Structure 1
Amino acid sequence: MYQSRLVQHIRELPAKQRERFRQFVHSPYYNQHDKTQELLSFILKKLDKRPSSLSKERVFKALFPGEPYEEQPLYNVMSYLNKLYYKFMAVQFTEKQRYQESLFTLEEAFDNHQFDIMTNRGKQLRKRLDKDPVHDSEYFMASYRLNHAVGYYSGHYFDRAETNTFQQMLDDLDKYYIVEKLRNCCHLTANSLILNTSYEFQMLNEVLAHIQANWGSYHAERSIVLYYTGLMSMLEEQEPNHYQRMKSMLDREMKHLSEKEGRDLYSFAYNYCIRMINAGESAYQLELFNLYKQGLRQDLLLDKGMISEWDYKNIATLGARLKAFEWTEAFLHEYRGKLPPHRQENAYNYNLGNLYYNKQMYEEALSALLLVQFTDVKYHLSTTFLLLRTYYALQDTEALLSLIETFRIYVIRNRKMTVEQKRGYTNFLRFAKKLVLLKHNAAYSKRDLGKELESLKDKVEATENVINKYWLLEECQVAAQERAAKP
Structure 2
Amino acid sequence: MTPINFKLVNLLNSFTPNEIKEFKKFISSGLYTSGRNYLPLLNYILKHKSKNQDNFQNGELLLKLNSGKKFSKQTLKNRFSELYKLGEEFLIYLGLKENKLEKDKLLLKMLIEKKLLPPFESKYKKIIRSVEKEKYYESKYESILLLHEQKMLFLKEKRRESELYDLYNETSQLRLCIYLISLFEIGFEYSLQEYADIRYDNNYLVDFLRNLSIDELINNFSDTDTIIYEITAMNYYLFKAFENSDMEEYYFKSHKIFSKLSHELNEEYRTLKFNQMIHYSIKKQNEGIKKFQYELFKLYNEKLDQGLFSDLQNKIYLSNNFRDYVYIGIAIKKFKWVEDFIKKYSKYLPEEFREDELKLSFAKLAIANKHYEKSLLSLENIKADNYLLYTDSSVLKLCCYYELGIFEEAFLELDKLKHYLRNHKEIPKIHFLVNNNFIQVYQKLLRCITKADKRDIGYLKKEYIENIQVTKSDWLLEKIEELNNC
| TM-score bracket, shorter-length normalisation | 0.7 to 0.9
Q: 1:332 aligns with which of 311, 334, 342?
A: 342
Structure 2 vs 1, CA of residues 420 and 266 (structure 1 numbering), >3 Å: closer, same or farther?
closer
In 1, the alpha carbon distance for the partners of 2:44 and 2:253 equals 56
Q: Kindly indicate whether residue 273 of structure 2 is the aligned counterpart of residue 268 of structure 1.
A: no
Q: Where in structure 2 are the equivalents of 1:144-293 lying within 5 Å?
A: 144-156=145-157, 158-159=159-160, 162-198=164-200, 199-201=203-205, 203-204=208-209, 205-206=211-212, 208=214, 211-212=217-218, 215=221, 220-221=226-227, 222-293=230-301
Q: Where in structure 2 are the equivalents of 1:5-404 lying within 5 Å?
A: 18-20=17-19, 22-27=21-26, 28=29, 33-35=38-40, 37-38=42-43, 42=47, 55=53, 86-87=88-89, 89-91=91-93, 93-94=95-96, 99-129=101-131, 131-132=132-133, 134-156=135-157, 158-159=159-160, 162-198=164-200, 199-201=203-205, 203-204=208-209, 205-206=211-212, 208=214, 211-212=217-218, 215=221, 220-221=226-227, 222-302=230-310, 306=314, 309-404=319-414
Any idea what the Cα deviations from partners look like across 1:179-217, whole Å, max 9, x if unmatched? 222222223323322344354326434474583385379
Any idea what the Cα deviations from partners look like across 1:324-374, whole Å, max 9, x if unmatched? 334323433443343345554443443333223323333343343343334
Structure 2 vs 1, CA of residues 451 and 271 (structure 1 numbering), >3 Å: closer, same or farther?
same
Code of the aligned partner of 1:234:
F
Contact 1:427 1:466 in 2 (8 A): yes
Alpha-carbon shift at residue 295 of structure 1 (Å): 0.5
Contact 2:38 2:83 in 1 (8 A): no
Contact 1:110 1:118 in 2 (8 A): yes
Contact 1:369 1:383 in 2 (8 A): yes
Code of the aligned partner of 1:410:
Y
How much is the aligned-residue C-alpha RMSD, in angstroms?
Answer: 4.1
In 2, the alpha carbon distance for the partners of 1:94 and 1:230 equals 35
What's the TM-score, normalizing by structure 2? 0.78
Which residue matches 2:481?
477
Alpha-carbon shift at residue 219 of structure 1 (Å): 6.1
Contact 2:454 2:484 in 1 (8 A): yes
Secondary structure of the residue aligned to 1:178 is helix
Q: Kindly indicate whether residue 464 of structure 2 is the aligned counterpart of residue 460 of structure 1.
A: yes
Contact 1:147 1:168 in 2 (8 A): no
In 2, the alpha carbon distance for the partners of 1:117 and 1:304 equals 48
Any idea what the Cα deviations from partners look like across 1:246-276, whole Å, max 9, x if unmatched? 3333433212223232112212322232223
* Structure 1 residues without counterparts, runs of 5 or longer: none
Contact 2:219 2:233 in 1 (8 A): no
Structure 2 vs 1, CA of residues 275 and 462 (structure 1 numbering), >3 Å: closer, same or farther?
closer
In 2, the alpha carbon distance for the partners of 1:60 and 1:85 equals 23
Code of the aligned partner of 2:185:
R
Any idea what the Cα deviations from partners look like across 1:42-96, whole Å, max 9, x if unmatched? 48xx9xxxx7x5656799999777889x999997777666656655555555566
Code of the aligned partner of 2:25:
H
Q: Kindly indicate whether residue 413 of structure 2 is the aligned counterpart of residue 412 of structure 1.
A: no
In 2, the alpha carbon distance for the partners of 1:406 and 1:362 equals 20
In 2, the alpha carbon distance for the partners of 1:462 and 1:305 equals 36
Code of the aligned partner of 1:473:
L
What's the TM-score, normalizing by structure 1? 0.78
